[in-house]
Amino acid sequence: MKQLIDISKELFESKQVGYIIGYAEDKFKRVKPFVAYSSLDTERFVFNNNSVNNLAVYLTRLPKAKEGKIGIVAKGCDIKSIIALIQENQIKRDDVIIIGVNCNSVVNQIDEQFSKENTAIKCKYCQVRTPAHYDYLVGEIKEVELPEDKNFAIMQKLDSMSAEEKWNFWEAEFEKCVKCYACRQVCPLCYCEQCIVDKSMPRWIDSSATTKGNFAWNMIRAFHLSGRCIGCNECERACPAEIPLSLLNRKMGMVAINEFNYRHGTDINQPTLIGNYNVNDKEDFIM
């Protein structure tokens, strides 16, 4: 913590940053996003197993700093979304200062007690506990106990299902959707200035939470995140209806890896999968 605060203070004192997005505790000692505007503010910064939020979402939501760059405290997985935003030309590398943190996995839900059982599944396969890219690095890696991957069996089962069975599975899940769009709002890569579901003149997507409207919404979002989702799992965490959105995201991610050998958010200089045409791209899996 001291390292994190010292670096943050230094960034303010040398006038390099306008603000730093980090984590702080509230009066019940729960960790949540916190924006520091001064060296004094940074004394509230914390980082621990409850630092769940992917703060990269704020990079496209908050106004630009009046002076200086934007500082951001980020775990390895969050940094993937920062890289993705740079690859997609949403922010410039020079506009941010990344304080990477060595991460010892995080809790599943923001207000839960951290334990092996309550550890986020994404941490099981994490390759970036020491971030791959940063300006500063703080914290130490410790040995962690990893959770069970409860979803793996479900994914295998889904893979073996017929189209009709898959439809029934997702129909039952999407039926619960209340169309709050929390999945979109927490997603660092859902930054469209106008989301297609908000286009009302004319309407493209039914706004009703009916089977048709819910399928349209969840499918459109899945398509728009194909080859772009970096697997932070914020959407699933935020969903009040508890729809297992990570099943879709992981599947999409696996297709990008298996069919195109592409992992979004890993290399700042790599053209994006969707934004780059390659004559050698496979086509055989399309219909």
- What are the residues binding ligand SF4 (CB under 6 A)? 75-77, 81, 103, 105-106, 120, 122-123, 126, 128-129, 177-183, 186-189, 218, 225, 229-235, 238-241, 243, 249
Q: What are phi and psi of 258, to 5 degrees?
A: -70, -40
Which residue, 75 or 133, is less far from another protein as judged by CB? 75
**In the 8-state DSSP scheme, what is residue 165?**
H
CB of 110 to another protein, least distance (A): 5
Taking CB within 5 to 8 Å according to partner kind, which of another protein, ligand SF4, none is near residue 126?
ligand SF4
Closest CA to 57 of 230, 248, 252: 230
Taking CB within 5 to 8 Å according to partner kind, which of ligand SF4, another protein, none is near residue 231?
ligand SF4
Question: Hey, CA dihedral for 139, 143, 149, 150, is it positive or negative?
Answer: negative
Question: Long-range contact list for 106-115, CB < 8 A, 24+ apart?
Answer: 106/49, 106/50, 106/51, 106/52, 106/75, 107/49, 107/50, 107/52, 108/52, 108/237, 109/52, 109/237, 110/30, 110/31, 110/32, 110/50, 110/52, 110/53, 110/237, 111/30, 114/48, 114/49, 114/50
Contact footprint for another protein (CB under 8 A): 26-28, 30, 32-35, 53, 57, 61-62, 110-111, 176, 178-182, 184-186, 198, 200-201, 203, 206-210, 213, 234, 237-238, 240-242
Taking CB within 5 to 8 Å according to partner kind, which of another protein, ligand SF4, none is near residue 110?
another protein
Query: Would you list the DSSP string of 46-63?
Result: --STT----GGGGGTTSP
CB of 215 to ligand SF4, least distance (A): 11
CB of 159 to another protein, least distance (A): 26
Q: What share of the chain is helix, strand, coil (3-state, %, to 5)?
A: 35, 10, 50
CB count within 10 Å of CB 177 equals 22
Taking CB within 5 to 8 Å according to partner kind, which of another protein, ligand SF4, none is near residue 123?
ligand SF4
CB of 282 to ligand SF4, least distance (A): 23
Taking CB within 5 to 8 Å according to partner kind, which of ligand SF4, another protein, none is near residue 213?
another protein
Which residue, 200 or 269, is less far from another protein as judged by CB? 200
CB of 129 to ligand SF4, least distance (A): 5
CB of 284 to ligand SF4, least distance (A): 26
Which residue, 62 or 268, is less far from another protein as judged by CB? 62
| 58 neighbors 65 (Cβ within 8 angstroms) | no
